[in-house]
C-alpha cells in the first residue's frame, strides 16, 4: 500500500504540471484565439446576413421535384422476339439511356434550361461551355452525383425522374420532362409497333403451317405456345389502341418538397466553434515550434528529418 501511495504521489505532480502547461499556452495566446474566433464569426455573419441584403439575393430554398413515369411493358411471351436486334434492352432501359444520351439532353435543355436563373440561358455562354455544363448533369457512373436522376421506382413498371431546382423554375422543368417523355414515347413507338405487327404475322403463319401439316399432334406444345403468344399480342394491341403510350407521366403535378438547408444561426454556431478549435490548435502549434527552437537537440532532429525527406 505504501508503494502504491508513493507511486500516486509521484505521478500526480506531473499530471498537474501538464494541465497547468496546457492552460498556460491558452492564456499566452488568448488574444489570438479570442480575436481570431470573433473575426471569423463576424465574417460568417456578414456573409450570411449582410451580403444577401445588399445584393438582393432571393431568400429561396431549392425544391426537389420528382416525376413518376409509367412504363408499358410488353408481355413476356413475345417481348424478347419484338426487342431482338432492335438495339433496345427494354422500354424502361430505353427511357433511362435516351435521357442520358448527351445530344438529346442538350437539345432539350436548350429549350428548357431549368437549372439556370429565371429558367433562361446566358447569351454569353459558348457552345463548348454549354456542352460541358450539360455533360455534368448526368454522371452515368455515379447516379448519386447526378443533377438529374432516373431511377426505378418501388412501384412496378415505374421510373422516377428527379432533380433540385429553384421554385421559380418549376414550370420550365415541367415542360422539359413532358417534352422528354413525349419524344421518348414517340421514338419507342416508331421502333416497336412495326415489330409487334411483324411478330404477329410470323406467329399466325406458323400456326397456320402447323394446322395444315400432318405433324399437328407432335407439335401440340409448340402450337399451344404460339396460340398463347397470338392471344397476348392481340390483347396488347387492343389495350395499346385504348392507351397508345409506352411511357407517360402518371401525373402532370410532380411530387415536390423543400430541401431544408442549415439555418443561419446553426451555420454561425458551427463556424464559431470550428474557428475556436482552429485557433486553439494554432496556439499549441506555435508554442511547440517555439519550444523546438529553444531546444538545440530537438531542432537538430527536426532539421535532419526535413533534409532526409527532400
68-79 pLDDT, tens per residue?
Answer: 998 888 888 888
Residue 148: pLDDT band with limits 50, 70, 90? confident
In the predicted structure, residue 96 carries a pLDDT above the cut 80: no
Residue 52: pLDDT band with limits 50, 70, 90? low
Q: Which of 158, 167, 182, 156 is nearest to 65 (CA)?
A: 167
In the predicted structure, residue 102 carries a pLDDT above the cut 70: no
Taking residue 41's Cβ as centre, other Cβ atoms within 10 Å add up to 18
Percent above pLDDT 90 for the chain: 14
Q: Which of 61, 63, 66, 62 is nearest to 177 (CA)?
A: 66
- pTM for the structure as a whole: 0.60
For residue 308, the model assigns a pLDDT of 78
From 13-22, 79-88, 164-173, the region with the lowest mean pLDDT: 13-22
Beta-bridged to residue 70, according to DSSP, are 158, 248
For residue 210, the model assigns a pLDDT of 81
Residue 68, Cβ density class (10 Å: 0-12 exposed, 13-18 middle, ≥19 buried): middle
For residue 60, the model assigns a pLDDT of 60
Residue 92, Cβ density class (10 Å: 0-12 exposed, 13-18 middle, ≥19 buried): buried
Average pLDDT, the chain: 79
Residue 242: pLDDT band with limits 50, 70, 90? very high
With the C-alpha atoms ordered 245, 256, 169, 262, is the resulting torsion angle positive or negative?
Answer: negative
In the predicted structure, residue 89 carries a pLDDT above the cut 80: no
188's CB contacts (< 8 A; 6+ apart) are 88, 91, 94, 246, 247
Residue 101: pLDDT band with limits 50, 70, 90? low
SS3 assignment for the chain = CHHHHHHHHHHHHHHHHHHHHHHHHHHHCHHHHHHHHHHHHHHHHHHHHHHHHHCCCCCCCCEEEEEEEEECCCCHHHHHHHHCCCCCCCHHHHHHHHHCCHHHHHHHHHHCCCCCHHHCCCCCCCHHHHHHHHHCCCCCCCHHHCCCEEEECCCCCEEEEEEEECHHHHHHHHHHHHHHHHHHHHHHHHHHHHHHHHHHHHHHHHHHHHHHCCCCCCCHHHHHHHHHHHHHHHHHHHHHHHCCCCEEECCCCCEEEECCCCCHHHHHHHHHHHHHHHHHHHHHHHHHHHHHHHCHHHHHHHHHHHHHCC
- Pairing assessment for the beta strands 63-71 and 247-249 based on DSSP bridges: antiparallel
For residue 215, the model assigns a pLDDT of 58
In the predicted structure, residue 15 carries a pLDDT above the cut 50: no
Q: Which of 81, 78, 80, 82 is nearest to 188 (CA)?
A: 82
In the predicted structure, residue 34 carries a pLDDT above the cut 70: yes
Question: Vertex 272, ends 268 and 276: CA angle to 5°?
Answer: 170
Residue whose C-alpha cell reads 505504501 in the numeric block: 2
CA distance 276 to 222: 79
Residue 118 or 15, more confident: 118
Cell numbers that stand for 122 in this block: 446566358
For residue 1, the model assigns a pLDDT of 46
Residue 167: pLDDT band with limits 50, 70, 90? confident
Amino acid at each position: 500500500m505504501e508503494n502504491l501511495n508513493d507511486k500516486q504521489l509521484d505521478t500526480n505532480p506531473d499530471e498537474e504540471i501538464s494541465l497547468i502547461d496546457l492552460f498556460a499556452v491558452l492564456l499566452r495566446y488568448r488574444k489570438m484565439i479570442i480575436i481570431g474566433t470573433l473575426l471569423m464569426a463576424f465574417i460568417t455573419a456578414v456573409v450570411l446576413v449582410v451580403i444577401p441584403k445588399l445584393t438582393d439575393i432571393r431568400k429561396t430554398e431549392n425544391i426537389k421535384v420528382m416525376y413518376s413515369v409509367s412504363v408499358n411493358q410488353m408481355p413476356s411471351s413475345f417481348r424478347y422476339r419484338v426487342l431482338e436486334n432492335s438495339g433496345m434492352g427494354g422500354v424502361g432501359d430505353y427511357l433511362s439511356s435516351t435521357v442520358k444520351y448527351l445530344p438529346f439532353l442538350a437539345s432539350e435543355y436548350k429549350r428548357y434550361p431549368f437549372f439556370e436563373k429565371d429558367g433562361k440561358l446566358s447569351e454569353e455562354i459558348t457552345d463548348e461551355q454549354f456542352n460541358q455544363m450539360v455533360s455534368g448533369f448526368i454522371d452515368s457512373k455515379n447516379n448519386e452525383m447526378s443533377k438529374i436522376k432516373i431511377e426505378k421506382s418501388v412501384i412496378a413498371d415505374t421510373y422516377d425522374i428527379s432533380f433540385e431546382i429553384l421554385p421559380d423554375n418549376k414550370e420550365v422543368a415541367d415542360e422539359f420532362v413532358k417534352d422528354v417523355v413525349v419524344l421518348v414515347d414517340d421514338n419507342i413507338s416508331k421502333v416497336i409497333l412495326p415489330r409487334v405487327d411483324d411478330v404477329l404475322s410470323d406467329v399466325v403463319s406458323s400456326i397456320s403451317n402447323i394446322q395444315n401439316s400432318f405433324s399437328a399432334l407432335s407439335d401440340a406444345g409448340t402450337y399451344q405456345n404460339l396460340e398463347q403468344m397470338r392471344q397476348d399480342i392481340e390483347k396488347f394491341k387492343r389495350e395499346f389502341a385504348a392507351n397508345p403510350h409506352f411511357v407517360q407521366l402518371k401525373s402532370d403535378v410532380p411530387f415536390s418538397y423543400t430541401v431544408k438547408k442549415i439555418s443561419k444561426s446553426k451555420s454561425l454556431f458551427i463556424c464559431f466553434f470550428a474557428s475556436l478549435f482552429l485557433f486553439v490548435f494554432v496556439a499549441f502549434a506555435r508554442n511547440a515550434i517555439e519550444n523546438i527552437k529553444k531546444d538545440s537537440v530537438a531542432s537538430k532532429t527536426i532539421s535532419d528529418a526535413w533534409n532526409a525527406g527532400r
